[in-house]
Amino acid sequence: MFRNVDEARRFYASPSVVWFIPTIVALTAGILVGALIGLVAWRMGMSPLFSFLITAVVVSLIVWGFVTSWIFGKIELGPYKTTTIRIEWEENEGRTLKFLELDTATPEQFFDVCKMVVDGGTLSIGNLQPCFRNRESVQAFQRELITKNLAMWNNMDEPKQGMSLTSKGQAVFNGIAHYPTDEVSGV
């Protein structure tokens, strides 16, 4: 269903999942249990409507609490943890050292994104989002790629058409994508 953990977290964090689905589940459970208790109350000569309403409300609140706590247990609501990655490369036959520092979720996620881009994926916000804190971080990364001449907009007047790696960017991303991740420590 999900391609990666971050996609699942975004799905579980969406308002429809966090509020709408638990509400529907809770109301359904409340109505079913309330109807059963109302039927029992009617058979015992008690007020079925009162029994139904009280039971439906109580069961709905209990189920809603359980379902939302389960969903909130599946997503991280705390501060976003980042790791700073420093990428260095040489230019002008080793006379110039350039670098790029960025805060990502994990080095492994960034390596996965680099592999995806080298394999023909795009540098779109949607593809880069899993390894960055938010949309603004992705846009800052895209601007940094352009500033360092690692990427360029496909259409300068229309940034929504995406960006492409320059030949230098292709070499840098290719080097990152094929870097042995098991050797990364303390990054």
- Domain 83-181 listed as CATH 3.30.70: no
Structure tokens at 57: 């409300």
- Domain extent listing, the chain: 5-74, 83-181
pTM of the model: 0.49
**23-62 pLDDT per residue, tens:** 888 899 999 999 999 999 999 998 889 989 999 999 999 9
**90-142 pLDDT per residue, tens:** 777 766 666 667 766 677 777 888 888 888 888 887 777 777 767 777 888 88
CA distance 23 to 18: 9
Tell me how far CA of residue 90 lies from CA of 94, 141, 168, 177, in angstroms. 5, 20, 10, 17
